[in-house]
């Protein structure tokens, strides 16, 4: 990536990054919307239970992800990477 004299990236780099990330955001949003309908209509789970399930999953991510990252960062790299 090219940097300007002030050290900031040009706008086209920001736009290009946003366009690449947009596909993932649209996919995640669509699946998340239909997942809630699937839970309530097909599996007959109450909305309160779905809320608790999603909240527990996010809390688990908030605790577990930094621990796994620290574990990986503490390992010595091998010749394979």
pTM here? 0.58
Annotated domain spans of the chain: 11-73
Concatenating the DSSP letter of every residue in the chain gives ----TTSPPPHHHHHHHHHHHHHHHHHHHHHHHHHHHHHHHTS---HHHHHHHHHHHHHHHHHHHHHHHHHHHTSPP-TT-
Mean pLDDT of all residues in 2-9:
67
Calpha distance 56→18 (Å, rounded): 29
pLDDT in tens, 27-69: 999 998 899 899 999 999 999 999 999 999 999 999 999 999 9
pLDDT in tens, 45-56: 999 999 999 999
């Amino acid at each position: 990536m090219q940097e300007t004299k002030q050290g900031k990236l040009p706008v086209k780099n920001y736009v290009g990054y946003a366009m690449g990330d947009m596909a993932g955001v649209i996919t995640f949003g669509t699946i998340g919307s239909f997942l809630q309908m699937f839970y309530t209509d097909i599996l007959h789970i109450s909305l309160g239970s779905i809320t608790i399930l999603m909240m527990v999953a996010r809390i688990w991510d908030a605790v577990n992800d930094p621990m796994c990252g620290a574990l990986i960062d503490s390992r010595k790299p091998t010749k394979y990477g």
